[in-house]
Chains A and B, each alone.
Chain A
Amino acid sequence: MSDIFSILRDHGLLLLVGQYPNGPIGGLALTFALSVLGIALAFPISVVIALARMSPFAWLRWPATTLVYLVRGVPLLMFIFWIYFFLPLLTGHAVSGFSTMLITLVIYQAAYLAEVVRAGIEGLPSGQAEAARAVGLSYGQTMRKVVLPQALYNMVPAMLSQFVSTIKETSLGYVIGVNELTFAASQVNSTLLTKPFEVYAILAATYFILCFALTQLARELERRIARRRAGVVAPVKPALIVASAVSDTPARS
């Protein structure tokens, strides 16, 4: 145990912010920056992909569906290498590890988030969109003013889980030398050489605290949203929805 504290005392700052302020920022700060930027940039793209996936036009549906299946079927690591090798070829400039990782995460998460958004839209009663169209709203207005606000609100917990996935995925930046948390920890490990278990236990604990807190937050939000929907949106069958909201206590124990 005392080993863990001395590692934290000597290298804690490196794990937290990397070489900053004497060098580039890294460690947990970079992990956080990558995941926040990644999910924030992926979100608007994911809405577009989700709408394209549900579009009546095949020329919109096909590329979006292909992207979703490509992302679902190919490891993230492969995507990282594709971007790593091809972005410089395409642009003619060297691309930093940070940008490589960010672009990969945006593409990957946009496809996964698109499925979340699609599930949210399809989960709404179809009467919502039909009523909006019947009142005379255009397709764009229906989506913007009626469907998306409700669907996205219901999807907040799922998006938070997707954010947790993004945090975990930034660890792959290690492979292309992005100085995020995992990379920083492996550097600490190679300076110390004799304490691999302690270093990687600290690393795992750091990710766990961050991700577990967010997961718990997502669950709490899910409970609240379910309660609100049970009260406001669907008064006809509250028993069913309440049952699924409190279903954290196993039905058969």
Chain B
Amino acid sequence: MKRFLLVATALLSIPAAVSAHRGWLLPSGTIFSGTDSWVTVDAAVSNDLFFFDHQPMRLDAMKVWQPDGTPGQLQNGATGRYRSVFDVKLDKPGTWKIGSENNAVMGSFKVNGEEKRIGRRGPPRPDMPPPLTVADIPANATDVKVTEIVNRNEIFVTAGAPTTTVFKPTGKGLELSPVTHPDELVAGEPAKFRFLVDGKPAANLKVTVIPGGKRYRDSENAMDLTTDAQGLLTVTWPAAGMYWLNATATDNNTTTPRATERRLGYVTTLEVMAP
């Protein structure tokens, strides 16, 4: 339960993630054959994985990368009460990346003893004034706390043979640089992923891996893992299925004025096949 609270706190500040809970993308599959392949993706924020029980994930920031790294097209997007859904036509062979990157600034300050908040939780609502930004902090403000947030939530799907162009790091924030291709995961075989912070190996990074289907078992069966000195994470999959992976880090390499802390998050959903 303690871990859940930590994750909830981390996600609390993401504007697109509505409120607490876990955000996830669930592809209909990750391995595709044939000449007319489509993947359909559910996007939601929920308590248990992967059940639609809380809020849909907004699709505004959702993007598609084709196997050559150029932008692709998201189709048939729709947002319901509990989930969003969209399709991507995999009309080029290779590995596609689908997901979103959230950059936000959150924080608070006091003016004459009154606390004010920077940023906003949840999606914009028509009756609410626009959120305060760093520029709105007056000169006489005290207790200024500004946090920069960089979060990624992405999935990888492959039509035909896997390729690696979409894994080219941007060098900004927390990124996955897989050693084992995420579409080549097999139960019982260890997978290796390297994590990068600003393009450099993220040593001692905390990573949580949780199998889907929590509703059908008693415990969460979360694996709490840590990357080694080279930023390498080794995961051995106990069974086939869909897994949610979440990595978080905090540092003070901020770029926003007055920000003192930076929170980094990385989420992906991985499909592990039976051997």
Q: Do A and B come together as binding partners?
A: no
